Amino acid sequence: MNQYTPAPIQANQPSHIMPTYGRQKIAFVRGRGSYLYTEDGTEYLDALTGIAVCGLGHAHPVLAQVIAEQAQTLIHTSNIFEIPWQTAAAQKLAEVSGMDEIFFSNSGAEANEGAIKIARKYGNDRNISNGKIIVAEKSFHGRTLATLSATGNTKVQEGFAPLVDSFLRVPYGDVAAIAKLAAERDDIVAIFVEPIQGEGGVNTAPQGFAYLEQLRTLCDQHHWLLMLDEVQTGNGRTGQYFAYQHTHIKPDVLTTAKGLGNGFPIGAVMVANQAVGVLGAGNHGSTYGGTALGSRVVYSVIDIIQKEQVVKNAATIGQYLVEQFNTRLAGLNVVVRGFGMMIGIELPKECTELVALARDKKHLIINVTAGNVVRLLPALNMTIEQADDLLNRLVPLIQDFLA
């Protein structure tokens, strides 16, 4: 053990970690591409990638070199100064997103907080105090107080009342319910939804991405902001750089994080159209948002995604996986859905136990959300051979589970 290796945990030694996570009894000490390794060298295929974070896989050599170089050069100054790498990262992100102004945060929840603040400020500028934001059932936007309030999951809200009262909730995909609210109220300022609900079960609206186009029309009619949470669906995850790019519309506010830093904690809230200029000097800020190190990571992640044609690969391999799962699981009453490397396999019964079975029997890391949906979020640069490896580990497991 050298000076940079954590000291081993002694038996019966108490943990000082706040018990906010239901952790699995396993630890990984290194990764490479689509695989993770425990201290004894056991290899696991990672089909979760930090919950849609490590889109370029683990320990990407170019990104590792970039982080090391920048850490030896300059990590942080402050947003009271110009930060050249932040300017460059914003330019890159604007090019791939089509948005106009960008604020860097530290996480997806912080980016979504920024979006909520923009909606509030937009409303106040129009003399609408406590403007309401329409959100969806089964949504997930974060665990800060405002994003928790926007989230459509009562379980994660329990114990934190009173919640922020700025949100009106409707069924996901129900445009008629939104139109009804529009006829009844004059205090609505925005709609805030995920293009695909990740935590909610990899849900798409019944009308598909046409849902976003319908929301754009409603927002234009009523002068509302269309705000899209692409914390999970962004950065190539769905086979487009952002999921809304499966359509011809553009949001007014767009948030992202997760794959934006490939494991480095950074997020962004972006604005276009009528949201440009809503926030000015002193309206928002962050000590660590857009540091020199974080910004160079963002610039490099986008650069790698572009040069290695990662988005195209995600679309191709993702389609292959969906087709193969549909073929191999035919007749088992499962529903396979998703775009790119965001795939949900809905089983006809609760299946949370599959997480442990996959890990222990198949050395495969997966996730189950909404109780009965196996959620797969593999690396976007997964090869066809690795995709077959995933299929060969997971399909027999599901077949046995449903037998």
Contact between 130 and 187 (Cβ < 8 Å): yes
Cα radius of gyration (the chain): 21
Determine the pLDDT at residue 14.
Answer: 83
Q: How far is CA 264 from the centre of its chain?
A: 14
Quick one: which of 54, 44, 3 has its CA closest to 235? Answer: 54
Half-sphere CA count of 286, side-chain side, radius 13 A? 19
Contact between 86 and 323 (Cβ < 8 Å): no
Determine the pLDDT at residue 396.
Answer: 98
Residues with pLDDT less than 50, the chain: 1
Determine the pLDDT at residue 15.
Answer: 85
The token pair that represents 227 in the structure block:
């705000």
Q: How many CB atoms lie within 10 A of CB 51?
A: 14
Q: Tell me the pTM.
A: 0.96
111 to each of 49, 142, 254, how far by Cα in Å? Answer: 21, 10, 9
270: CB partners within 8 A, 6+ apart: 93, 94, 97, 99, 100, 101, 102, 103, 253, 254, 255, 256
Amino acid type, 19: P
Backbone angles phi, psi at 215, to 5 degrees: -65, -40
The token pair that represents 70 in the structure block:
């920048």
Determine the pLDDT at residue 7.
Answer: 67
For 217-276, give the DSSP string: HHHHHHT-EEEEE-TTTTTTTTSSSSGGGGSS---SEEEE-GGGTTTS--EEEEE-GGGT
What are 47-79's pLDDT values in tens digits?
999 999 999 999 999 999 999 999 999 999 999
What are 9-41's pLDDT values in tens digits?
666 778 899 999 999 999 999 999 999 999 999
Tokens 């997966």 -> residue:
366
The span from the CA of 153 to the CA of 137, in Å, is 7
Determine the pLDDT at residue 105.
Answer: 98
The token pair that represents 8 in the structure block:
């081993």
